[in-house]
Every structure is written in structure tokens, then in C-alpha cells.
Chain A
């Protein structure tokens, strides 16, 4: 089982709609979680991070964390064509090993 899994295929959403991305993680020791956006041919850039159970909102983005279910999600409200990218979920084990384990990513295509 991979440490961080993003199983959904490419997601197409109409402009203005909500894009919903999901991620599960296997290591219960993971304490902090991150969503990165990666445009084609570019490096990942941080969108959101979340440490506590519940929701965290930043502009059009909301991250949700449920540690009991080992589940992280990202909602993108009022999707724009500029949101078209691959979104990477990452989890960090804070027990001494500081590396981030990344999922394979979900491609989002916002259709004008």
C-alpha cells in the first residue's frame, strides 16, 4: 500500500463549479498534510497545509482533514481555467523523519 494515494482519474469541471479532490494516507503517524499545485513543466507550488482535524479555508480553497479516517480533501470553489493543473497531496511524519510522502497527483481541467 502506497503511503499517500490519490486514486481519481483526471477531473473535468465547468468554469465556476466546485472541484473536489481526495487523498488517503496509510501512516497514522502522519501529522501534517499539504496540497501542492503543479502546472505542466513547472515545479510544485504550495496551495494549502493543514495540521488539525476539520476544515481550513483560504480564499477559494478549502482543505479538510479527518485523521480517524486518514483522509484529506481539497475543494476548489468557483473553478477558473487557471486552476487547470495537477494537484499533489502530501503527508509528513513528524516523529523524526521529516520527509513528505507525495501522492501521484490528480489532474484537474476547468472547461470555460
Chain B
């Protein structure tokens, strides 16, 4: 596709449920990033993939958060046993090596 694609665009879930967020990067982009943005806040780094490996998982807030990337393309961010503080916009970005990041439109997660 022409840009980074994220799905779903909106997700409302009950506290304690698991959710999966999907990111389809720009074709050919080897690097993929997940960020989180809470209301009125800056971007919080979660995890970075180079190809299928994740050399930097330092931003994952807890062991309820995990991510994987397969085939050097699509990535899935999974949040288990969601909590209300997980409510935020989850942004995915991709890039070629060290070039600027290109962001998707995000997934707005609301945990009730």
C-alpha cells in the first residue's frame, strides 16, 4: 500500500480482555516501530523491529504487552488483560533503515 496501515482504527474493550492491534508497514520498509500516545501527551516508545527481530523492547510497559513481526512485514501488538490505563492511541511507524519514520493513522483503544 501507499502508506502505513493500522487496524482496527478504533477498539473498545472491557477491562481484562485481550486485544490485538495490527500494523502493515510501507512495502520495503525494514524498520517498524510502535508508539503509544495518551490524551494530551507526547509519543511513548514501545518497541522497535529491524526485520523480524526486536533489538529494542525497552519501552514495553509491562509483561502484558508483547509484539511480533512476521515475514519482515506485518506486525501485531498484543495487550493481555487490558487495564483502563492502557487506553490510548497506538501508533505504528515504518522506515527504511535510518530514514524518517512514516506513521499510520493509529488505533484508538478504549478500555472500559
Q: Which of B64-72, B74-82, B99-107 contacts A (4 or more CB under 8 A)?
A: B99-107
Say which size band chain B's interface belongs to. Answer: 20 to 34
Chain A residues bordering chain B, tally (CB within 8 A): 21
Which of A34, A44, A45, A103 counts the most B-chain CB atoms under 10 A from its CB? A44
Q: A-B contact count, CB below 8 Å?
A: 47
Nearest CB of chain A from residue B87's CB, rounded to whole Å: 15
Q: Is the CB of A102 within 8 A of B105?
A: no
Nearest CB of chain B from residue A79's CB, rounded to whole Å: 23
Interface check A17, CB cutoff 8 A? no
Known: A88-B42, A98-B31, A101-B45. A46 touches B98 (CB 8 A): no
Q: Is the CB of A43 within 8 A of B41?
A: no
Taking a contact as CB atoms closer than 8 A, the residue among B48, B103, B106 that contacts A99 in the complex is B48
Q: Is the CB of A43 within 8 A of B45?
A: no
Measured between beta carbons, the chain B residues less than 8 angstroms from A61 are none
Interface string of A50-85 (1 = CB under 8 A from B): 000000000000000000000000000000000000
Interface of B is mostly: strand
Taking a contact as CB atoms closer than 8 A, the residue among A45, A94, A97, A101 that contacts B103 in the complex is A45
Interface check B43, CB cutoff 8 A? yes
Measured between beta carbons, the chain A residues less than 8 angstroms from B103 are 43-45
Taking a contact as CB atoms closer than 8 A, the residue among A46, A96, A105 that contacts B101 in the complex is A46
Interface check A22, CB cutoff 8 A? no
Complex A-B, nearest 4 residue pairs according to Cβ-Cβ distance, in ascending order: A104-B42, A102-B43, A43-B103, A46-B100
* Interface residue ranges, A against B (CB under 8 Å): 32, 34, 42-46, 49, 88, 92, 94, 96-105
Q: Please give 18 more A-B residue pairs, beta carbons under 8 A apart, in addition to A43-B105, A46-B102.
A: A42-B105, A43-B103, A43-B104, A43-B106, A49-B100, A88-B42, A88-B43, A97-B56, A98-B31, A98-B50, A98-B56, A98-B98, A99-B33, A99-B59, A101-B45, A102-B43, A104-B41, A105-B42
